């Protein structure tokens, strides 16, 4: 039973290019989350998606960033016109369900490390 799969593991882009990061959730998980980790920082929430729906994008920058989780295929985090400040590790997590009570156990992938030159 594979865990959360992310690719690419490492991505180098020049300023102004586009970065696309992909995430396949754990089998049976229909809830996907993206978090960003800046150097020497903890992870910070970006966006929560279910199939074909963005549930909460309150942590995602309003410009240049977008996310999707199509009916078929992986979730995609897209960063247009990258800048040096976008250099970070981007982690995807998935969970079985998120209820309105109790805890929600997130399983994280190994991350995609973006370097912007």
Partner 1 sequence: GQQLNQSPQSMFIQEGEDVSMNCTSSSIFNTWLWYKQDPGEGPVLLIALYKAGELTSNGRLTAQFGITRKDSFLNISASIPSDVGIYFCAGQISGGSNYKLTFGKGTLLTVNP
> Which residues are at the interface with partner 1 (CB under 8 A)?
4, 6, 9, 31, 33, 35, 40-45, 48, 56, 59, 91, 95, 98-111, 113
Distance of closest approach, residue 87 Cβ to partner 1, in angstroms: 15
Helix (H) or strand (E) holding 10: strand 10-13
Query: Phi and psi for 84 in degrees, rounded to 5?
Result: -60, -35
Q: Identify which of 73, 34, 72 has the alpha carbon closest to the alpha carbon of residue 54.
A: 34
Task: Choose between 15 and 97: whose C-beta lies nearer to partner 1.
Answer: 97
Distance of closest approach, residue 39 Cβ to partner 1, in angstroms: 11
Distance of closest approach, residue 47 Cβ to partner 1, in angstroms: 10
Query: CA of 15: how far to CAs of 9, 10, 82, in Å?
Result: 19, 16, 5
Task: Choose between 17 and 104: whose C-beta lies nearer to partner 1.
Answer: 104
Task: Choose between 5 and 76: whose C-beta lies nearer to partner 1.
Answer: 5
- Three-class DSSP category at 84: helix
């Amino acid at each position: 039973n594979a865990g959360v799969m992310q690719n690419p593991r490492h991505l180098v882009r020049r300023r102004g290019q586009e970065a696309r990061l992909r995430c396949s959730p754990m089998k049976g998980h229909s809830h996907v989350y993206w978090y960003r980790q800046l150097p020497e920082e903890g992870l910070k929430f970006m966006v929560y998606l279910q199939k074909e729906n963005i549930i909460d994008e309150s942590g995602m920058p309003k410009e240049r960033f977008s996310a999707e989780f199509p009916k078929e295929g992986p979730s995609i985090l897209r960063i247009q016109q990258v800048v040096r400040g976008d250099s970070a590790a981007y982690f995807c997590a998935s969970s079985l369900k998120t209820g309105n009570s109790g805890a929600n156990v997130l399983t994280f992938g190994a991350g995609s490390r973006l370097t912007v030159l």
